[in-house]
A = this chain, B = another copy of it.
Amino acid sequence: DHTIVCGYGQVGEAVATALVSAKKEVVVVDHRTEHLEWAQAHGIHTLVGDATDEEVLRRAGVERAASLVSVINNDPSNLYVVLSAKGLNPDLKVIARASDESAARKMRRAGADEVVNPYQLSGNRIAAMMLAPRLSRLLSGNVTSDHFTVREISVPDALVGRTIAELGRQTGALIVAVWRDGQPLRGRPKEVLQAGDTVLVAGAADEVEAVEAQRLG
């Protein structure tokens, strides 16, 4: 259940670096060997080749991968990769880069699960920096500290049937919200956790870790 990152420019580098830091398995595909050397130096698996070639995607393990990110600096190439990858593995989660709204629509029609337009995203982020500077910095992970951090954690079977108040008392963390059937709900103390729930947890780093430990332990 690894992730394939097609295109190792600035976008691909940022994706791969963040995923590897989070201990995820990543394979980077690019036809420019010089771009892949830096990735290799950072312990990222690489494959030299053109991601628009189905044989290259097969060698990258597309049939058993969990997800694929197509972030080549070229809309037609990304569209081609999305169509090829979904054809080889319909269950694959695919995220594609698109340089404008018209390209974004094509990516979605080709089966991309999520599309990112760097320019629209940047404009939205700049507006958020002005309208809600602290929240925007917090959410971008730039000011997470020992004193305060937020994380989403899927609820393990062991916690099903317990209330939010119980989980909060036991760990010291604040249970801000519960996602159920894809929708976020305010985390009310008497709410009983159900199988498949994911919780939004806030607090000091050790409090948030205590919720994570419930999940792992």
Contact = CB atoms under 8 A, between A and B. Distances in A.
A24 B202 CA distance: 31
A174 interface: yes
A18 B150 CA distance: 25
A116 B125 contact: yes
Nearest to A21: B127
A104 to B, nearest CB: 11
A40 interface: no
Q: How large is the interface on A (under 10, 10 to 19, 20 to 34, 35 or more residues)?
A: 35 or more
A124 B198 contact: no
Given A122-B71, A126-B116, A177 B200 contact: no
Contacts of A18: 123-124, 127-128, 131
Contacts of A43: none
Given A132-B151, A134-B200, 6 more contacts: A18-B124, A93-B130, A95-B130, A121-B121, A133-B152, A174-B176
Interface of A: 3, 9-15, 17-19, 22, 24, 67, 69, 71, 93, 95, 97, 100, 114, 116-136, 138-141, 143, 145, 147-148, 150-152, 174, 176-177, 179, 183-187, 198, 200, 202-204, 207
28 contacts: A10-B117, A11-B120, A13-B123, A14-B119, A14-B123, A14-B124, A15-B123, A15-B124, A18-B128, A22-B131, A69-B126, A95-B126, A95-B129, A116-B122, A116-B126, A121-B122, A128-B141, A134-B179, A134-B198, A134-B200, A135-B139, A138-B177, A143-B183, A145-B183, A148-B177, A148-B183, A150-B176, A186-B202
